[in-house]
Every structure is written in C-alpha cells, then in structure tokens.
Structure 1
C-alpha cells in the first residue's frame, strides 16, 4: 500500500455518531435503575499488581477510567477530551511566572471528600508527594517528575515549583496520578492494596470481587461532590466480561445497557451493517496507538540494524486492513495524526515495505540471518484481535526470509510485570494518552523513569529536545523540537509504531449521552449517561 500521502480528518474535538438503530431522544435524568456498562477490562489484584486502583500505582486506561469517576483532580479535560484543561477540584489554576515554572491553584470553597471530611491544600500536597515518594514500579510517577517542591498557603492555595519549564503541567494535573486522596485512607509510604477507593469525585464506588478479580463495580452519585461535572444519573454499574463476544450477547439480550472497550472488529462491522434490534453503534475519534517495544539491551535486538530491518519490512497497511478493517489507520510515528507536531517520520525514512532494503541494512551490520525473535503480546487487555495482529506480523517478518519469528501471548497481570522487568525482547503494547499533546506520546517512552522501564536513552532527546518543547506554551512553536524527536525515534527504532485506532461504543437505544461516553482522549465519562425513551 502506498502511504506517501496520509490524509486523515482533524479528529481532535470532533464527534462522529453513527446511529444504526432508532435511538432515544430524551435527555435522560436522575433516578431509576442503574445503567449497566460492559467492559472487557479485567481488574485483578496480585503480588505483581497489588494496587490496581491506587492513584500512585494505576497506569492503564481501564484503572484510570475507574479512578476518573471517583477521585478528583485539580484540573480536568473538557468534555470533548481535547483543548486545554479546565478547573475541577480547583477554582482556578495559573502559571504565576513567565517561565512556566511556578503553577498556583486555588481550591474550590467547602470542597469535601465523599465521607464529608473537608479537603485542604495540605491534602493535595500529601496526595502528590505520596506518588513521588512511593515511586511505584508502574512508573506513573514519571508524569509528576517535573515537580521540585509543593507549597501550601492556608487551606486553599497550592503552589507547584517545577524543576524546569513545563507548559504541559496543567494536563498532568488532570490525570488520575494527580488524584486527591484522603490521608486517613492512603498511607504516605505504601500502596493501598486491593480495590477500595475513596475520593471526592462525582461518584462513590463499591466493587464486587471474586478470586481477587473485580466482577462488577457500582458507582453511586456522590452528594458531596463539587466540581464542573453534572452527572445525569444516580447510579452506574461497570461489569467486566471475559471477552467481547460475551459482552455483546449481554447487550443484545438487554442484560447490559452499553458496552465500551474493547469491541471486536467483527462486532463493529456487524453493528454497522446489520444491527440487532434496539442497539445503536457510535463511532468516535480516538488517539489510541499500538506499537512494538524493544528491550534494546537484549542480544537479539541490541543492534539498531535489526530494529531498522523490522521497520522496513512491517506492512502497517496490511495489519490495519486485514485485522482491524475500517477501525484502524497505519501509523508512521509515535505521535498520531491529528495531534499538533505529528509527522510521518517512519514513512519518510523507510517508505513502503522493502525486503531488499532490509536485507542490505542487516548485511551492512554483519547480522546473520534469519534473526530469531519471539514477539510477545497480551491475550486479554486490548481485545480479541491482538492475537491475529501478531500472526500477521509473524507472517510478514518470516516471509522476508530475514527473520525466524515466533509469537507468545500472556495474560495482562503476568505480561505487564514481565515487560517492566525486561523479560521480553520484543513486545506489543497500546497507548491511550494521559493528555492530548505530542509530548505525551513521546516522553512516556523516551524520558527518564519512562512507562516502559526501557533501557533506551538518547541524550539529545532527554537533555535538549524534551526540555525545549516543554518551554513552549504555543504547541505549534514546539513542533520543531517534537518533530526532531520523531526523526530520532525513526532512526533508532526503540519503538515501532503500527496503527492508530478509532473508538466505538454500542448501547441500547434508550440510553442517552452515549456520544459523550468516551472522549477523544479515551476518558470514560459515565456521568454523561442517562436513561431516555426507547425508539
């Protein structure tokens, strides 16, 4: 597939509902039975994943979406998921200097935790200091690593002094990692194991657990909540399913009202062309990306030439078309199309898939072929199509004659722990942005204390380019540094971007607000859902 010209719509902030059955028009409202939402996200507590819902540990889309319903942050993303953050627990926040190094927030008056205890500036300081002190192995604390010190003035003023300029800091304060927790419930130096969550968000929650795994979580409207959200329901139940097929059957039977991540490509095709009675499908723009990561110290992929050869062989167009259909687009950078600063660095360097060029790359580096590799993937975290995706990758690489590839899948609770410990030479992961800025598609993979716990370190990226782009409040001005980073990544290939996805939600037609259920940043907004009138 010739991808020399990539033209994608400007997705940020746009919503494209695809209603395939007659939907309700009522605006919904409070009261009535709980709205039941299905998910294939699995929440398991174990020695490897001890605290799935602790803001100091949680760092995956599923756990964050639980926390966003229950734990308040100073700032929050707008309803669309794009644009600049808005005050949430804060009444106002502002850079109070010209260099983006001092960020001051004033809390809302009479802010309370759900149990009625008053929230003070000291609680905010405690919560964020706690994340930085615990430094959990999920590496989520890296989001807040630009903080030098936190100062409080009275009960309502919090001032963040940063180590260096960071124009993206307000976005970081909108992530669950910066969630405000009650010191009575969360120890200063240790994680809160298990599934209990106490906060000041729009809902309180209670989880039903079997065999150390959450079966369902009930969110109940928090009467003490003060913030900019306006919940349109009193209660929502989030129910976990083993797979997309089971979740789809529950929706069609009416056992659940809506299903969210992760639907299978086959379900999306079915609901688009031949929907079940009383079921709607909504398509939304998304910023999800998928990629291969490399342990660049592992003998099999230590040579940059091996990683470059893989980049020259992989056919992203075939992966997108044969596995995901219309739900995915080939991706030629860690920064997805639609984000300011994006450029197709991998295509610019490698062009269309080229086995001859890959062979020459390996030959110049004196690499003996075929190169033996195992590609690892998670069986239960990103949906049922992941295995097929890796089968296509294996076929492409082996067909070149330059590689001898095997694939292996593991459950997420085992997989993520093994990946962080460097047990996989090559592994597949997805990324749902912490916030919609190019920095957040680069720094979590390339900076110190990165999300991958990756050994790859580039001094130009860390010492010059990331600090330079963070100094620029105008993100267009930051693009020069951001694009230089993308070019270095395309040359060194510490990660190999594969595709960018859309988002889909299916619901019964008496559920309102579905078009806002997922923002473009993949934030699950359960407060937007109501129960209306079935068509």
Structure 2
C-alpha cells in the first residue's frame, strides 16, 4: 500500500484544535509484540537534574510523556479533548459557586505497581510532596493555589484553594498531580535516576547506558483500574540522537512509529516522494516558540531594547526560510487557534519595521548596535532550531541596530542555566500543560513561574490572572485575556515567534496513530494497535 498523508480536521472551541470522535473498541491485536515508537526526546540524568522522571521535577514534554503512561492522576482530558473527566477518581467536582473547594472520590481497588493499595492519603502525600520540594523548574506552580487538603476516610479528598480557579480540574490532570507511593518517593527529596512507579496503565522499565536512557519499555499493568482503554500490551520508546537516525529506523522497520521531532525536510520528502508502507499524519498542534528575557539582565532590562527586537524580527521570512508550511507567525503567547487569542504584537509592532526600532532606541538614549547573545537548545526542539537562530541573528544584525551572537547547548545544560537566570535572552518552546488559555499565561507570568523570570507586573499577577480564573464559563474570560495579551505586547517579557503543526509517521500496520498524539504533543501510547482490527 502506498503511503498516504492524512490531515486531521480541527474543531475550533475555547482551546482548539481538539479531535472529535467516538470512543474506540478494544479491537485489533498486537499478539504480545511490542510497538516501537521513536523520539528525539532525550532522557539524561545530570548533576543539575539527577531526577528527570520525578513528577516533582519533570517539566518538559518528553518526561511528561513517560509519566502519563505510568503515574495516575485523579482527572484526565478525554480522548477527543474537552473538559477533564475522572481517571483515578470515580467522581470530582466543585462544592461551591466560587470554585474554591474541589472534592474528589477515589476509585476503589487501585493498586501501585508493587501491589500496595492506593488511598487518598497517598494523593495528599504526592501533591504535598511537590509543593514542599518546590523545585526551581517551576513545576509546583501548577499546584501552588492549593491552601489545604482534607481527607475523609480512604476515598474522599477535598482541596481548599487560596483563590477561585476554574482551571483546577485541568491541573489535577497533569503529571505533578500524579499519585506516587510513599514507600518509594521520599517527602522532601527527589527520586534520582530513571525509576518510575505508579498505578497507571503501564509499568515502566528503562534501559540505561551511562546517564542516558536508550530504551523505555512500557508493559500493560494488569492491576490498572481507570478510564483509559489499552489497545496494546507493550510499547517501547526509543530515543534517537537526531531525526535522520530516527527516519532511517522507520525505513528499515526497526521502529513502527516516528514522533517528534521530525525535520521540515523529512516532512516535505514524505509528501513529495511517498514510500511504500509508511503513512504520514498531519495533526493539529498547539506548540509555540518564543524568545524569553531576563528583564533584570544588563543587556535586556531596557524595555526599549525588547520592543526594538519586536519591531525588527520578520516572522514570515523566518518561517519561510526554516520551517516552510510547518509553522505560522505568532503574535501573542496564546496561539491563534485558541478562541481568546488576540494579535497584540502585530497590532503594536507589525512585522519587520527597523525604522521604528531605530527611532525607539534613539528616543530611549540607547547606543547602537546593542550587543546581545541569543541562547538556544541544540537537541530539544528539533534540528531546525540552529537554523532558526542563525536566521534571527541575520535579521537583527541586518538592521545594524544589534550586534548579535548565538550560542547553543544541549537541553540538559541549557535548561538549568536558563532557570538559574544565566541567560539574558534565550529561545524556548511551549506545549500546553492542559487545554485552557491559562496554560499560556500563568506558567510565564504568575508567581513561581516556569521561566523563573524576574518580570512582575502587579496588574497581571494580582488582578487579571486571578480574574481570568474565576470564570467557570471560560469564554467569559476573553476580555480579561485580551487585556493580558496587550500588556505582554507592551512590556515584552517574552517575544512570540511562531506556532507549529505536528506530524507522525508510522508503518501502515499501526492503527490509532491519529489518537496517539494529541494537540499538546502528549503521547497516549495506549491508543496504538498493531494489526488492522476494527474500532470507531
């Protein structure tokens, strides 16, 4: 059978795109044979990050893609997207109109992979552990609105929040809210290495060489009880050093599925030169890329410098040169496919106006060219990142207003340095933590944020962000989100660049691919099947 390219349609809602469809049957069979999935995500233990798979530390898509298979959360976002539904819980809901008290009832009969029963005390312990460790990665910020937790018996827990938060059910679906064993995870210390134990759909084993995972093996957990339907019994996740090696492994049949991050050249080649037995699927994506600033660093503290960069960068030419049809310009932290998006950066700066940038710098008394170093990660967002930053350097230096150099580092080095604020200007990507516009605002601008940025706008942090979370009807928060986006465009603590599409390539005997990667780039390995089978 010739390779086909499938483009999945998007349903535009409050946070889109999401996939619409009915639940699948357990049709199809893998015969016990592992489905092998390739990725360029790397799992490395370092001195700065010795516990890459601990839910109190991990805050990147690759690590979350391991934890989602193994660590159960009270809630999860269902197959077709939309509001969270119970997973380890049997039911959950707010108990007050103000969205300040949230009660969950745990499913009966849950067990950790070692056989111990799961109780609400384990739920309370796991979440309190994340809050107590308060890792510099910013992961605890997702749960920091919890004031107290009250347990009743073995199955009921009530979360009392510091402030109203309609997004709290989504936050309970993220890995830092995952349930871990008190025996295996110490209360005030990260669990070093690559062991992961939970009550999720799979048990996990890592094959390690030195300080790096070379194979991650997920085996169906016979004791799993939850809302997910497994369509296979075993999956292997194999990290590759680059997309070219991953592509060769797919061509040779060593892997069945190729996930992130494929290069633009690979995608174009698959479209233009179909290969026998391989199917390329284009999926909705909510990934964004941006420049971040340490707003207290000498070279980036002047707002006029950040604004001048916003005036100078030509997103259209950047995307055409580097990504082709795999990306589109982004003029806000919130992607254009999200209903609350506004083109705040375009409205203020347009695209590529060095004359206005020069006037702005002159009026601010800033001597040009402004000398800057742009830092980026060489191995975390795909091989095209280096070319992207070379292009940004060319644009900024071409204006003669900047004297820019670029410097790349592996993610295991880059991320700790960024968190410690060793970079004045740096390039980052973001995949949403959960399907709500708040996930593009709070992690960047709220207290205990992911970037560890010193930027603090009191109007944003003390008024607008809390106000946006009070709205149970999320569409009612649109005006508040519009104000937030305008303030970001004015102050430029971050500079949005583009939002991307995503692609998955698979052997044509693998089904469920369209469900196995959602718009947030989360791997849902339980959706994959080997064999034709039937299902909806």
Asked whether the 8 Å contact 1:27–1:513 carries over to 2, the reply is no
CA distance in 2, matches of 1:155, 1:325: 54
Q: Which residue number in structure 1 is paired with residue 70 of structure 2?
A: 70
Deviating more after overlay: 321-330 vs 168-177: 321-330
Instruction: Tell me by how many angstroms 1:481 deviates.
Output: 1.1
Q: Once the two structures are superposed, what CA deviation does each residue of 1:28-65 show, in whole Å capped at 9, x if it has no partner?
A: 22533100000000000011111111000000000000
Asked if the contact 1:15/1:284 (under 8 Å) is kept, the reply is: no
* Corresponding residue for residue 22 of structure 1: none
Query: For the aligned residues, what is the CA RMSD?
Result: 1.4
Report what 2:4 is aligned to.
Answer: none
Contact 1:27/1:512, CA 8 A, preserved across alignment: no
SS, match of residue 502 in structure 1: strand
Aligned position for 1:452 = 451
Q: Which residue does the alignment assign to 1:403?
A: 402
Secondary structure of 1:347's match?
helix
| 1:302 to 2:301 alignment | yes
Q: Is residue 168 of structure 2 the alignment partner of residue 169 of structure 1?
A: yes
- 1:494 and 2:509 correspond: no
Deviations 1:248-271 (A, max 9, x none): 000000000001011001111111
Aligned to 2:18: 13
1:58 counterpart = 2:63: no
1:341 equivalent in alignment to 2:365: no
Q: Tell me, yes or no, if structure 1 residue 47 matches structure 2 residue 52.
A: no
Q: For 1:393 and 1:404, locate their aligned partners in 2 and report how far apart those are by CA, in whole Å.
A: 12
Q: Would you say 1:503 and 2:502 are equivalent positions? A: yes
> Is the 1:15–1:515 contact (alpha carbons within 8 Å) kept by the matching residues of 2?
no
Gaps of 5+ in 2: 1-9
Aligned-pair distance for 1:12?
1.6
Provide, for residues 369-410 of structure 1, a one-character-per-residue CA deviation record: whole Å limited to 9, x for no partner.
000001000000011000000011001101101001111100
- Residues 148-202 of structure 1: per-residue CA shift (max 9 Å, x gap): 0011000000100000000000000000010000101000110001000000000
Who is 2:318 aligned against?
319
Whether the 8 Å CA contact 1:373–1:405 is kept in 2: the answer is: yes
Q: Which residue of 2 aligns with 1:350?
A: 349
Is the counterpart of residue 425 in structure 1 residue 424 in structure 2? Answer: yes
Q: Aligned equivalents of 1:378 and 1:352: distance in 2?
A: 25
**CA-CA distance at 1:78 after TM superposition:** 1.2
Shift, 1:110, TM fit: 1.1
Structure 1 residues 15 and 91: alpha-carbon distance in aligned structure 2, compared to 1, 3 A threshold:
closer
2:214 maps to 215
Q: Alignment partner of 1:158: what SS?
A: strand
The CA distance in 2 between the partners of 1:268 and 1:443, in whole Å, is: 33
The one-character-per-residue Cα deviations of 1:399-433 (angstroms, maximum 9, x if unpaired) are: 10100111110011000011011111100000011
Q: Give the alignment of 1:71-90 within 5 angstroms.
A: 71-80=71-80, 82-90=81-89
Q: Is the 8 A contact 2:122 2:182 kept in 1?
A: yes
C-alpha distance after superposition, 1:452-492 (max 9, x if no partner): 00010000000100010000011111111111111000000
Q: Which residue of 2 is the match for residue 28 of structure 1? A: 28
Change (3 A) 1:439 1:50: same
Q: Which residue of 1 aligns with 2:527?
A: 528
* Counterpart residue number, 1:156: 155
Cα distance in 2 for partners of 1:533, 1:462 equals 51
Query: Is the partner of 1:198 in helix, strand or coil?
Result: coil
Q: How far apart, in 2, do the equivalents of 1:32 and 1:182 lie?
A: 29
Structure 2 distance, partners of 1:379, 1:137, is 22
TM-score, with structure 1 as normaliser? 0.95
Q: Is the 8 A contact 1:312 1:350 kept in 2?
A: yes
Written as runs of structure 1 = structure 2, the 5 A alignment for 1:78-477 is: 78-80=78-80, 82-477=81-476
**SS in structure 2 at match of 1:348:** helix
- Say which SS state the counterpart of residue 286 (structure 2) adopts: coil
On the 8 A contact 1:40/1:244 being kept in 2, the answer is yes
| Whole-angstrom CA distance in 2 between matches of 1:101 and 1:43 | 37
Q: Which runs of 5+ in 1 are unaligned?
A: 1-7, 17-25
In structure 1, what is the Cα distance between the partners aligned to 2:351 and 2:521?
30
- TM-score normalised according to structure 2 size: 0.95
Give CA-to-partner distance per residue, 1:315-337, whole Å, 9 cap, x none.
11111221111110100000001
Distance 1:151 1:31 in 2: 45
Query: Quick one: distance in 2 between partners of 1:299 and 1:393?
Result: 21
- Contact 1:28/1:529 (<8 A) preserved: no
Deviation at 1:15, TM superposition (A): 7.2
Q: Distance in 1 between matches of 2:362 and 2:369?
A: 11
Indicate the residue corresponding to 2:5 in structure 1.
Answer: none
In the TM superposition, residue 340 of structure 1 has moved relative to its aligned partner by 2.8
Offset of residue 533 of structure 1: 4.5
Asked whether the equivalents of residues 318 and 391 of structure 2 are also in contact (C-alpha less than 8 Å), the reply is yes
* TM superposition shift of 1:280: 0.6
Query: Are the aligned partners of 1:100 and 1:167 in contact in 2 as well (CA < 8 Å)?
Result: yes
Q: CA deviation at 1:9?
A: 7.8
